Structure 1
Amino acid sequence: MTTAPELTILMPCLNEAETLGSCIQKAWRFVRRCGIPAEVVVADNGSTDGSQAIARECGATVVDVPVKGYGSALIAGIRAARGRYVIMGDSDDSYDFAELDPFVDKLREGRELVMGNRFRGGIKPGAMPPLHRYLGNPVLTTIGRIFFRSPCGDFHCGLRGFSRDSIMRLGLQSPGMEFASEMVVKATLNGLDICEVPTTLSPDGRSRPPHLRSWRDGWRHLRFLLLFSPCWLFLYPGLALAILGLIATGWILPAPRHIGDITLDIHTLLYAAMAIVVGAQAVIFWACANLHGMSEGILPNNPSLRALIDRLTIERGLVVGGGLIIVGLALAVLAVSTWSNVAFGLLEPTYTMRLAIPSAACIVLGFEIVFGAFVLNVLHIRRPRELGLQRGLP
């Protein structure tokens, strides 16, 4: 083929000799029926069962990918693809490559990512384990939709089409199964035009177990969703802890409180103070994670958020943190003075701890803010290649 094809049909492969030939033949049937200039690319991840030879015999281009992993194979295949559009799908014969018309139609309309939705198109008996169908996929998809406001109702469908140039700009890099989530999340965060089409999932044709490991790969997907959402990982839990801690501290600090037969006193006050400190630390982590993510291109740039974080200067951190440290030390002095009143003997803890706990919380929180301000400003430092080597920087 001397000219670039319009479509690349991409299949990741690792020992799929039983089903690979059938998938490629169905893909070519679709190509001939539609008359679309296309190529079939098999991204082989080190098969030892002759899958490469089968792919070549069926007219596919084989891309050898030495780095193990579902994501590694697809990233290499996307880079090697010559088509304007790419439709990727598993080579286990669970998807029908002869019926790709809805994907091509949507791509030609200008959609940049066309996701298959197995829950809308149908899941045949035995095609998906109950654990995945009723727990794994729905839960992870719901989390993804909430965290990122994604329109996708099936985050992990293996059959999807996309504009190659648009996806290449996302800088996808996950080597494992979480690649499926990375594509949807980054496409959503970067404002790509996304839609879904119903897709039927059939039982795969392999006699061996699938490569997917339910709990391991499920955790990797969840971990990825959390890492790409600093608000849900740090900010919202941190604010909730800090606010609840402040409310509880303000309520219990003056005197013990009674709820029925339950008395809330200095022990509850201690945990309330801890909630404030942990919550504040989580908010600082949120600011650091966002700044690092935007600086490294992991997260899309948010000018409003960056401007807010930029206001958290070292000087402001020193003023606020230093003020809290001074308040904490003043309370500590007051606590020591009450101790001196009894000749440094035994104290009544229900009174003195109402000074000691806020004192310790203020001091710890003050140092957290000061150190956090320094860390944020360290993250502001640009490397020479970002500032421009023409300025003569080393």
Structure 2
Amino acid sequence: MKDSVPDPSRFESQNGIELTILMPCLNEAETLAICIDKARQFLDRASIVGEVLVADNGSTDGSIEIAESQGARVVHVPTRGYGAAILHGIDNALGDFVIVGDSDDSYDFSRLDPFVAELRAGHDLVMGNRFLGGIEPGAMPFLHRYLGNPVLSFLGRLFFSSGIRDFHCGLRGFRRTAIQELGLKATGMEFASEMVVRASLKRLRVTEVPTTLSPDGRSRPPHLRTWRDGWRHLRYLLLNSPKWLFIYPGAAILAFGSLLTGVLVQGPVHILPNVTIDTHSLIVGCMAMLVGSSCMSFGLIARSFAMERGFLPVNPRVARIRAAVSLERMLLFSGVLILIGSVGLGYAVWTWAAANFGPLTYNSMVRMLTVSCTLVALGLQFAFTAFLWALIDIEA
């Protein structure tokens, strides 16, 4: 059951403006007037005290003059980029609430009622969901609709425990001060992901409302570049989730390598009547152990660094691990691994010397050397990781 809509006068800021409808703009002369007209119609129909703000990103086609002639306020953005335009617009908005949408007439600014209702109900961020509201034929490229948006939105939900199913909808509303407090910095298209990720990490009140997407009204190609901007979104998601980038894959690889090595350290194993795994598979297992432990080390260091820098929230579990795993304890563990590996290497050399440094049984010697070298390598890796982790903790 939805909350009732309180008296709009409650939400008016000190300057009397409740809502800013923000439109980033870069050469949108063909559609800008239509968007502004729809936005003003909405404000009049809904009796909302608001403004239409155009954040111009360096237009040269008369967009600025069109915006001013339609009664919109224009701010000039010094830095190029979708995110830069929105950030500058947010900083210059006068409303308590901001609803931002593309100025290409793909979103209907005359139907913003659900966004305002949810903002008044107390939500900090209200995302449009085009998959719920409807996507008109030709409004979204096939790859974006069935691959890019669904996959990236799924990863966003998985990585950050967000319930948002359309991470990249260009129509969204938010409480201005709540978004400003997130410290958003992305200047490109990945800004769309950054806003949702930061809001999710800060546990802001986030919800979705259905919205429709229409074909944009421009005759020129859109600014969006499918593969470049898709990669930038994916890159942002991965860099802000060390556990999914490093720790979980590393744990899986380490578990596989440990299991394979543990099974084969005693000798060959027959898995089928005509299939036997032996020393070559043992080498694969040892290499997997090294790769997996490296990934997990990178993940713990990356998470600690992100917590220290403040761009990821403090994780109590990581903090407890960090408190328990001191430099001295890690060095002691590393020393034990190196000692065991060195004993194995010493035994291999002694066996070789006993054979007058001549030929040895291939399988037994390779097994011994592989496992021993792996233990020494793991010990050294953990030792260097311990020092690097301690270095991060040094206060400037």
Q: Does 1:345 align with 2:358?
A: yes
Counterpart secondary structure, 2:20: strand
TM (norm. structure 1) is 0.95
1:51 maps to 63
1:388 maps to none
Q: Which whole-Å CA distance do the structure 1 matches of 2:16 and 2:143 have between them?
A: 42
Q: Does 1:312 align with 2:325?
A: yes
Q: 1:66, CA displacement in angstroms?
A: 2.1
Q: Which whole-Å CA distance do the structure 1 matches of 2:157 and 2:117 have between them?
A: 25
2:257 maps to 245
Q: Does 1:326 align with 2:333?
A: no
After TM superposition, list the pairs within 5 Å mapping 1:1-394 onto structure 2.
Answer: 3-260=15-272, 261-383=274-396
Contact 2:15 2:94 in 1 (8 A): no
Counterpart secondary structure, 2:251: helix
Counterpart secondary structure, 2:23: strand
| Structure 1 gap ranges (5+) | 384-394
- Letter of the 1:14 partner, please give it: L
Structure 1 pair 23–303 and aligned structure 2 pair: CA distance change class (3 A): same
| Structure 2 gap ranges (5+) | 1-12
Q: Which whole-Å CA distance do the structure 1 matches of 2:308 and 2:58 have between them?
A: 35
Which has the higher mean CA deviation after the structures are superposed, 38-47 or 108-117?
A: 38-47
Q: Which whole-Å CA distance do the structure 2 matches of 1:146 and 1:218 have between them?
A: 17
After superposition, the C-alpha distances for 1:223-254 in whole angstroms (9 at most, x for unaligned) are: 11111111111111111111111110010111
- Letter of the 2:360 partner, please give it: L
Q: 1:303, CA displacement in angstroms?
A: 3.0
Counterpart secondary structure, 1:370: helix
Q: Which whole-Å CA distance do the structure 1 matches of 2:384 and 2:14 have between them?
A: 60
After superposition, the C-alpha distances for 1:135-184 in whole angstroms (9 at most, x for unaligned) are: 11111111111111111111110000001111111111111111111111
- Letter of the 1:172 partner, please give it: L
After superposition, the C-alpha distances for 1:117-152 in whole angstroms (9 at most, x for unaligned) are: 000000011101111111111111111111111111
Contact 2:126 2:172 in 1 (8 A): yes
Q: Which whole-Å CA distance do the structure 2 matches of 1:332 and 1:305 have between them?
A: 35
1:390 maps to none
Q: Which whole-Å CA distance do the structure 2 matches of 1:119 and 1:326 have between them?
A: 59
Q: Which whole-Å CA distance do the structure 2 matches of 1:367 and 1:246 have between them?
A: 18
Q: 1:55, CA displacement in angstroms?
A: 1.2
Q: 1:313, CA displacement in angstroms?
A: 1.6
- Letter of the 1:255 partner, please give it: G
1:387 maps to none
- Letter of the 2:127 partner, please give it: M
Q: 1:304, CA displacement in angstroms?
A: 3.4
Contact 2:55 2:76 in 1 (8 A): yes
- Letter of the 2:275 partner, please give it: I
Q: 1:311, CA displacement in angstroms?
A: 2.4
Identity of aligned residues (%): 55
Q: 1:60, CA displacement in angstroms?
A: 1.4
After superposition, the C-alpha distances for 1:36-82 in whole angstroms (9 at most, x for unaligned) are: 11111111111111211111111112121121111111111111111
Structure 1 pair 108–2 and aligned structure 2 pair: CA distance change class (3 A): closer
